[in-house]
Structure 1
Amino acid sequence: MQATQRELKPRLRFPEFHDAGEWEEKRLEEMFDFQSTANNSRADLSNAGDTFYIHYGDIHTKFHQYIDFSKDTIPKIQSRLYRNATFLKNGDLVIADASEDTEGIAKAVEVRGLENGVNAISGLHTILLRDLRQNYVNGFKGLLREIETVKKQIKRLAVGAKVYSVSKTVLKQVLLPLPSHPEQQKIAECLSSIDELIASQTQKLVTLKTHKKGLIQQLFPAEGETQPKLRFPEFCNAGEWEEKDFGEICNFVRGPFGGSLKKEIFVKDGYAIYEQSHAIHQDFDSFRYYISEDKFNELKRFSVQPDDIIMSCSGTMGKFAIIPKEAKTGVINQALLKLTVKKQLDIKFIKAILELPSNQEQLLSQSAGGAIKNVVSVGQIKELIFCIPSLQEQQKIADSLSSIDELITAQTQKLGTLKIHKKGLMQQLFPAMEEASS
């Protein structure tokens, strides 16, 4: 007995489409034609060429769903450096065919804002799709790859281990939804309004971070100086900051050798293992690994206390977090450095000093080849010299930066909520095609 075929309808529809019937479902090869692309590397690009060039790396890092030639900053290439590449048109869909992570597989952008007479091409590791039969309205095509069921199909069809890729042959088989043009237009307009709100809130976040960066440059002495350019009124006549070796400021403990924390000693629940992710994300609500009380006592010198600072020494290096008062009792792993700030010093101020770009450069040494960075030894860290003001001025600076951090956190959460709302709305506005065709 065959399974009952579900209707291909979204859970949420605008009132005027409630009785519009089912959506169609077609393979990508029925909807789009493949066009030719260039194969130039980033080395051929500049700001002075005569043709705009979409680089696959920019699809991953700079653009989301759409690329707008009237607004976005896009590199160029000289026409003598490429051949046989199709010039882009508004409404074309450009897909990155390679990605280092599963979320970026076949990431796509719809072309917008191209004026007559402006030449643009897509390049190496891109696939160019053109809707010659006008199956979709402009603005809707950029949404197709973000539909959850379309994403799932692409992930399932992608090949590779460290780098995931999709071919034209694979993409041809992907099933796409096809509602009527008026319904497409309504969906695109609805989601576009949310995108505008997300863009506005993103800009607010960027502005806050820029403000903090500028304030830090004013509140701390420049390299080679012992007084900042900007001081709070009550400290204007307080004199120079005092130069101190970092060894006078903190005690240091580098995490245990990897052999001390093998997976076979981990238990289901117990004392927490602090990892570099805790320093990077400053999130202390979840832990992957735990050790027993006996093991904790054995490794007690690596244990963390509230107000300790941890530093990531592996992966994303040079990130700092302060252990909160309510944090779980535990030990650091081999990828962390623990800093215990001595008395008469403000912990948040010391963290801010460590995060200054000039001090980050001192903490991370560069290999002879220049490509690989490593955290310098504890001995070298102790010898670093920092300028320190009075405790009262430390606290004033720390409080000022903390207030901005609170605004940044609130804005980040607001932005995250909007993105979750959009994702949930898309799940409602598009039918689950795999379920419908099962």
Structure 2
Amino acid sequence: MEQKNLVPKRRFKEFQNASAWEQRAVSELADRYDNFRIPITASNRVAGSTPYYGANGIQDYVEGFTHDGEFILVAEDGANDLQNYPVHYVNGKVWVNNHAHVLQAKSEIADNKFLMNAMKYMNIEPYLVGGGRSKLNADVMMKISFRVPELAEQKLIGSFFASLDHLITLHQRKLEKMKALKSAYLSEMFPAEGERVPKRRFAGFTQAWEQRKLGEMMEVTSVKRIHQSDWTDEGVRFLRARDIVCASKGEEPTDYLYISQEKYDEYSRISGKVKVGDLLVTGVGTIGVPLLVTQEEPLYFKDGNIIWFKNEKKLDGNFFYYSFIGESIQKYIRDVAGIGTVGTYTIDSGKKTPIQIPSYEEQEKIGNFFKQLDHLITLHQRKLKKLQNIKKAYLNEMFV
């Protein structure tokens, strides 16, 4: 049993019968080059092409460098994430401030890429000292030990994860590019403030857009209040503002809420039923976040926290949704929310919300265009998440 713990679950074929991994301290595997670190205040930095590293990665780009070569940077203090401790592999010229330790693998016994992954995903918390600003002391770091294989296997593992990281980075860049493209289109395919036509249009549409207030076009309201004692573990979905915020981020809430079918039927006879094409918008917390109703399944929501726009096909649902996340309406919401500690978007503000609308045909084209763009973004997000999960699984199986 002891021997099984000295080798990983998954191993490259050529090393399946190799010797067990050995316990080694960081001091045996790497040299430390903290003495070359130099912090630069933001006001004294000279813009350049050299990455300027702190505890959590690149902070800026500057002229000059403190280190040139292949190194591992380990957060000394100020780390943002203790579960995924900030450890970075660098190769080339970098400038490092005094918030990151600088290690370099001893080439005859260790591989930098392997060590980076081994240190990044080990449990570093027991070695940290301090309160709100946890610190990894140099002497403590050099005494940290973990199991390592022979150098040839380290290099193969390090190279494998470097290739996987490269693939993940490519997908991250694709995702960021798609999101930037969406942002650019939102600014160009809806009229700017004071304008009546957008910069970019589908062919065949030339007519000026019409300025309206949503309260003139549809009922803007809420629902009869549901008390906490009426919440259940199953039944009709009950939405809070934070559930809408979660949905806008592509996330799942950790605590779904429901109300009984009987309570839903009773209250819906008073307030009406949410229908496909309606828009629910957060009025508290993170305000102005819209949710387009796209399914027939019944749902209810928390009054006062969510504003209900009863669209009834006055506007194309997708166009309505993307209008709401555009800068014009979001700016209006920021302006009317107030400057206190807790901004609110109310039913009255909802009624006065200005919107610019083209013909229904143009609305459909715009709404469908952004819907397809969001579909592509979601696909990229899923691919990225899948790769990240694959890496996590391999890390668990390929390290002891």
Question: Structure 1 419/381 Cα, relative in aligned 2: closer, same or farther at 3 Å?
Answer: same
Question: Structure 1 52/416 Cα, relative in aligned 2: closer, same or farther at 3 Å?
Answer: closer
Question: Structure 1 154/227 Cα, relative in aligned 2: closer, same or farther at 3 Å?
Answer: same
Alignment of 1:407 with 2:386, yes or no, is: no
Which residue, 217, 223, 248 being the options, matches 2:216?
Answer: 248
Question: Structure 1 189/32 Cα, relative in aligned 2: closer, same or farther at 3 Å?
Answer: closer
Shift of 1:186: 0.6
**Residue matched to 1:95:** 75
Question: Structure 1 9/253 Cα, relative in aligned 2: closer, same or farther at 3 Å?
Answer: farther
**Residue matched to 2:169:** 199
**Residue matched to 1:25:** 23
SS of residue matched to 2:238: strand
Shift of 1:213: 2.6
Deviations 1:379-415 (A, max 9, x none): 2332232211111111111111112121111122122
Deviations 1:105-143 (A, max 9, x none): x321123222xxxx72223xx240424745532322321
Question: Structure 1 145/130 Cα, relative in aligned 2: closer, same or farther at 3 Å?
Answer: closer
Question: Structure 1 28/333 Cα, relative in aligned 2: closer, same or farther at 3 Å?
Answer: farther
What is the alpha-carbon distance in structure 2 between the residues aligned to residue 340 and residue 155 of structure 1?
A: 51
What is the alpha-carbon distance in structure 1 between the residues aligned to residue 230 and residue 25 of structure 2?
A: 51
Question: Structure 1 232/129 Cα, relative in aligned 2: closer, same or farther at 3 Å?
Answer: closer
How many residue pairs were aligned? 390
Shift of 1:78: 9.7
**1:20-419 alignment to 2 at 5 Å?**
20-28=18-26, 31-32=29-30, 35=34, 43-44=42-43, 46-48=45-47, 53-57=52-56, 59=57, 74-76=60-62, 90-95=70-75, 97-99=77-79, 102-104=82-84, 106-114=85-93, 120-123=95-98, 126-131=99-104, 133-134=106-107, 135-147=109-121, 150=122, 153-155=123-125, 163=132, 165-168=134-137, 171=141, 174-236=144-206, 239-253=207-221, 261-262=227-228, 266-282=231-247, 287-292=255-260, 296=264, 300=268, 301=271, 304-327=274-297, 329-332=299-302, 335-365=305-335, 374-419=343-388
Deviations 1:14-47 (A, max 9, x none): 1221222111123445545663555666x44644
What is the alpha-carbon distance in structure 1 between the residues aligned to residue 124 and residue 223 of structure 2?
A: 41
C-alpha contact 1:110 1:141 (8 A) present in aligned 2: no
Percent identity between matched residues is 24
Which amino acid in structure 1 is aligned with residue 61 of structure 2? P
TM-score under structure 1 normalisation? 0.75
What is the alpha-carbon distance in structure 2 between the residues aligned to residue 7 and residue 375 of structure 1?
A: 56
**Residue matched to 1:10:** 8
What is the alpha-carbon distance in structure 1 between the residues aligned to residue 141 and residue 307 of structure 2?
A: 46
More displaced, 397-406 or 315-324? 315-324
What is the alpha-carbon distance in structure 1 between the residues aligned to residue 160 and residue 133 of structure 2?
A: 32
Shift of 1:249: 3.7
C-alpha contact 2:3 2:20 (8 A) present in aligned 1: no
Deviations 1:31-71 (A, max 9, x none): 45663555666x446443798632335x2xx6xxxxxxxxx
Which amino acid in structure 2 is aligned with residue 144 of structure 1? A
CA RMSD of aligned residues (A): 3.7
What is the alpha-carbon distance in structure 1 between the residues aligned to residue 68 and residue 315 of structure 2?
A: 59
What is the alpha-carbon distance in structure 2 between the residues aligned to residue 158 and residue 333 of structure 1?
A: 46
**Residue matched to 1:429:** 398
Which amino acid in structure 1 is aligned with residue 24 of structure 2? K
Question: Structure 1 308/56 Cα, relative in aligned 2: closer, same or farther at 3 Å?
Answer: farther
Q: Which runs of 4+ in 1 moved over 6 A?
A: none
